[in-house]
Amino acid sequence: MSQWFVYILKCNDDSLYTGVTTDVERRVNEHNHDSRLGASYTRARRPVKLVYSEQCKDRSQAQKREVGIKRLRRVAKQALINKS
């Protein structure tokens, strides 16, 4: 059973990207260096920096949390990042 995480990246253009993974370090590396595995959104906004991560009990919870974070306004996302 793997651990799941929801994470927020700050892109080079100051935008925020939210995703889920089982390995945050590997995923950030993919976003920054792998044109095939990194998301197309972050590919055009490199380098990205990890600014928030949260452990979830399973994939379903991580995906639900991702959707919840994506629905937040930027100010609320910044507050979440600053709180961590």
Residue 49's domain is classified under what CATH number?
Answer: 3.40.1440.10
pLDDT 10s per residue in the chain (84 long)?
Answer: 689 999 999 999 999 999 999 999 999 999 999 988 889 999 999 999 999 999 999 999 999 999 999 999 999 999 999 998
Q: How far apart are CA 23 and CA 8, in angstroms?
A: 13
Residues 6+ apart with CB under 8 A from 34: none
Domain that holds residue 61: 4-83
Structurally, the chain folds into a number of domains equal to 1
Both tokens of residue 20? 């889920």
Amino acid present at 83: K
* pTM exceeds cut of 0.85: yes
